[in-house]
Amino acid sequence: MGALSEAWALAIEALSQVESRRLNERLALLEASRRLSINHAAAIGLAHKLVIETVRRQNFIDALIDSAMRRSETDSSLSLGNLNSRLRAFLRLFTYETKIPRQASYERAVKIAKIGRSILGWRRMMRIESTLGVLLGLEKTAVLKGLGDVEKTSLTVFQSPWFVKYCFRLFGRAVALDYFRSSLTAPPTYARVNTLKMPEAKILEEMADEGVSLSRVSGLSHSYEVVDQRVPLARTSGFEKGLFSLQDKGSCLAVEIAAPEPGMTVIDACAAPGGKTTYIAQLMRNQGRIYSIDYSRRRTALLGREVERMGVEICEPIIGDLCNPLPMKEIEADLVLFDPPCTSTGVIGKTPSTKWRISKRSIFNMAKLQWKMLSNCAEAVSNDGAIVYCTCSVTVQENEMVIERFLKLNPDFRLVEPDLWLGVSGLRNQSFSQRLYPHLHKCNGFFVAKLKTGD
């Protein structure tokens, strides 16, 4: 099997796993690589691009396929829904590769179809042979005819109609469209250098020697945008030695707004996989105590490995469900950093499968969960302590409205202005809350607010 065939085999398997097991694209590709025993970097790289770009445009791709199936002269009952998951995955990948971003040649389409037959078998492929032919001759604009504004917009910006309407109301049409367009590409990769291991200047030298080109992020203490790299960052010796962590700007901003100091007692709530815990320890210079809580044994194991890799000595991992009172009843924390589960609407540029899994109901369900967990975290804050609340969601229900409700029912807390600003003020007149957007700040969408007790 050549590199191109290996890439398509990986992509078909991974895209099938994204749908059937609700894995994100990265985990699905790792699982596909393991199952098929394909480890060639070129094949994995091409498969990753195929999967990400297909998932990113899935609603438009499905509309093209549905239109082609209706025009097909074979099985009138044929639909995407009644296809085998791997055949459905191939059909979506084929549509992306031959129709988006440009029309493929007939020869290219035939080559891809042959690869599909070699992977899936010619008997299975016979069900969609007619559809493949119709797709090649189908005008992309045909699926937009007769649609209303929201439905047409949802197909052209590759978003669910309900989310288009939601963002139009929340941000206004122009800003919402900027946000949607920015989500068609992943934000830059950011690295946070780890001064627990060695001085920053020496880390930068070692990374440069390994072909990693960096640009410092203005306003943050140890964060750099990755401009270029010779090999995947996770495969460098610097990463293996814990010299840096891959951490988005918003995540680093939240830790720096929290401002942990040496000797503090800190709770990192919903801590796995450990990026914030390790940065807290770095700013505390490994002096004090961090209680890192997560509900999952698997995720807590990931946290433990990250803590070890980064040279953190003051972390105590704890398995606990924050929907219940915290398991350390005797602990009074100087600081709680709380990054709860959310709809992840701020990371759809990086993980586009997220946008097809959530609904408007998801927002309200998450907000209820976040409120409950935040209330339990507040019980552990000492007098004159602080909570930093953050999410990678752009919805108002999961952010400003959670803060409003919390402050109304907890008058001993107040929202304070952060010492560090990278973003824009929050919505609903929350001038001390802070938001980051991919179209403005070249990072994931993010929200952060700092709440303090005492005067």
> Residue 54 corresponds to which tokens in the numbers above?
């297909």
Active site (annotated) includes residue 392: yes
CA 349 to chain centre: 7
Length of the chain: 455
Residue 135: CB atoms within 10 Å:
23
Residue 93: CB atoms within 10 Å:
23
Pairing of strands 265-269, 289-294: parallel
Check if the beta carbon of residue 382 is closer than 8 Å to that of residue 414: no
Q: Which residue of the set 167, 315, 390, 392 is catalytic?
A: 392
Residue 279: CB atoms within 10 Å:
29
Distances (CA, A) of 288 to 165, 262, 281, 300, 370: 47, 6, 8, 20, 27
Q: Which residues are catalytic?
A: 392
